[in-house]
Amino acid sequence: MRGGGNKNQSQATELENERALRAQAEQANRIKDEFLATLSHELRTPLNAITGWAHILQEGTLGAAEQSRAIETILRNAKLQARLIEDLLDVSRIISGKLRVELSPLDFRKTVEAAVEAAAPAAAEKKLRLALELGLEPSEVSGDSVRLQQVIGNLLNNAIKFCEPGGNILLRTSPEPRRVLLEVVDDGRGIDPGFLPLLFERFRQAGHPLARARGGGLGLGLAIARYLIEAHRGTIEAESAGEGHGAKFTISLPLLRKTSPPSLPPEAPPASVRKLSGAYVLVIDDDPDARELLEILLVREGAEVALAATGREARSVIRVRHPDVIVCDVGMPEEDGHTFMRALRSAGEGSGAFIPALALTGHASTEDSRAALLAGFQMHVSKPLDPPRLLEGLAILWRRGLARNQ
């Protein structure tokens, strides 16, 4: 009897474990289905605004004020869609272990200031009061300024999203003996206490994703933020008294034990360096719209521009006259940008082997940048295109080439 009882108990335990595993699988499937529905909705929403306003602009019937509004709307929604795509790529990199954090000494207060400056227009548009209180004590950490700005930007975007017009957002830093704290406090919608334990999980959102009161998003920003802060050996926590009582997020990062001068960004080139007057630029891209856009941007900066759709066309241009600098798309058919550049670098000096070149690509990871440099490019700029960054990079490469030839 005792043996039969043990057997029945074992079977019951196995059955219970099986039920638990099935429930977990069903929950995972529900989360996946909800996420895919949300992804479709969130990508289509800005695309709808972009294509709709583009069609209206194409008709040529808008007045100057309406044209300005249409362009602002298109740019805002394009940036939103780019941010969604970057979040997806970051999660993919996290899962595959390929998301890199480049650590160097920096003043955390300056990183916070930069993130606040970037978020200020969105806060002002919604008539929110955005306050910043930075402690006077040194706040030097070992960090990746770009990634830390991304984290703070995610927290600010959430606060802006869930605050009512006229609401308040406060950021303040305060040092502890070995750490620096950043608090992001808002008086917005707040968080259900029951949801707080799930807040930093991937693809998690409070309520049904298609029935949210406002805001949107893919439920990835806070999961990415936690990963990045933990990669900095820090912590991130959330507090809220519930719906209607606002929220507070606290980031804690270890201070550098030895005082060292904070890393400074590269010195900005003078305004004259940004101009390309007198430069001869070769643009290589298989997409005619991209070529046209680059030609307009470069001509407006005073450059003379040659266009090529393939590596073969580019070689024909170079044989006639060497450009001062090359802008080359990486993802091209037949011969990609890396292959073209390796072939150019292996050719003799008379074939253009030493022409400075910038890689323009939709692949934005650290590994992609390293691959471009190994192929022979001097700079790597990711899409979507940031015109000031592109023009500044080309101007720097052009001046380097001039200095080399003197």
What are the tens digits of pLDDT across the range 277-323? 889 999 999 888 888 889 988 988 889 999 999 999 999 999 888 99
Sequence-distant (≥ 6) Cβ neighbours of residue 229 within 8 angstroms: 151, 235, 236, 251, 253
DSSP state of 210: G
Residue 339 tokens, joined? 């292959």
Q: Is the pLDDT of residue 262 over 80?
A: no
- CATH number for domain 271-405, candidates 3.40.50.720, 3.40.50.2300, 3.40.50.300, 2.40.40.20: 3.40.50.2300
pLDDT in the model for residue 264: 45
Spatial distance between the Cα atoms of 280 and 405, rounded to a whole number of angstroms: 15
What is the DSSP annotation of 121-143?
A: HHHHHTT-EEEEE--SS--EEEE
Average pLDDT in the chain: 80
Winning range, highest mean pLDDT, from 50-54, 155-159, 296-300, 324-328: 324-328
β pairing state of 235-239 and 247-254 = antiparallel
Sole residue written with tokens 């499937």: 29
142, β-bridge pairs: 105
Sole residue written with tokens 């150019």: 344
Spatial distance between the Cα atoms of 111 and 160, rounded to a whole number of angstroms: 19
pLDDT in the model for residue 308: 92
358 SS3 class: strand
Give ranges for CATH 3.40.50.2300 in the chain.
Answer: 271-405
β pairing state of 325-329 and 357-361 = parallel
Please choose, from the candidates 311, 301, 267, 292, the residue with its C-alpha nearest in 3D space to the C-alpha of residue 395: 301
Fold of 104-254: Heat Shock Protein 90 (3.30.565)
pLDDT in the model for residue 169: 94
Q: How many residues does the chain have?
A: 406
pLDDT in the model for residue 8: 67
Q: Which of left, alpha, beta for 375 (phi over 0: left; psi -120 to 50: alpha)?
A: alpha
- If one counts every other C-beta atom within 10 angstroms of the C-beta of residue 389, the result is 12
Higher-pLDDT residue of 19 and 375 is 375
Q: What is the 3-state secondary structure (H, E, C) of 229-288?
A: HHHCCCEEEEECCCCCCCEEEEEEEEECCCCCCCCCCCCCCCHHHHCCCCCEEEEECCCH
Give ranges for CATH 1.10.287.130 in the chain.
Answer: 2-96
379 SS3 class: strand
pTM, rounded to two decimals: 0.53
Residue type at 347? A
Cis peptide leading into residue 262 (ω within 30°): no
- If one counts every other C-beta atom within 10 angstroms of the C-beta of residue 131, the result is 12
In whole angstroms, how large is the CA radius of gyration of the chain?
26
CB 301 within 8 Å of CB 142: no
Q: Is the pLDDT of residue 217 over 60?
A: no
| Kind plus residue range of the DSSP H or E element containing 190 | none
- Is the dihedral angle over the CA atoms 375, 397, 390, 158 positive or is it negative? positive
Give ranges for CATH 3.30.565.10 in the chain.
Answer: 104-254
Per-residue pLDDT averaged across 271-281, rounded?
Answer: 71
CATH code given to domain 2-96? 1.10.287.130
Q: Is the pLDDT of residue 263 over 70?
A: no
Residue 60 tokens, joined? 């040529």
Per-residue pLDDT averaged across 55-82, rounded?
Answer: 83
b/e per residue 231-269 (b: at least 16 CB within 10 A): bbebebebbbeeeeebbbbebbbbbbeeeeebeeeeeee
In degrees and rounded to multiples of 5, residue 172 shows phi and psi of: -145, 140
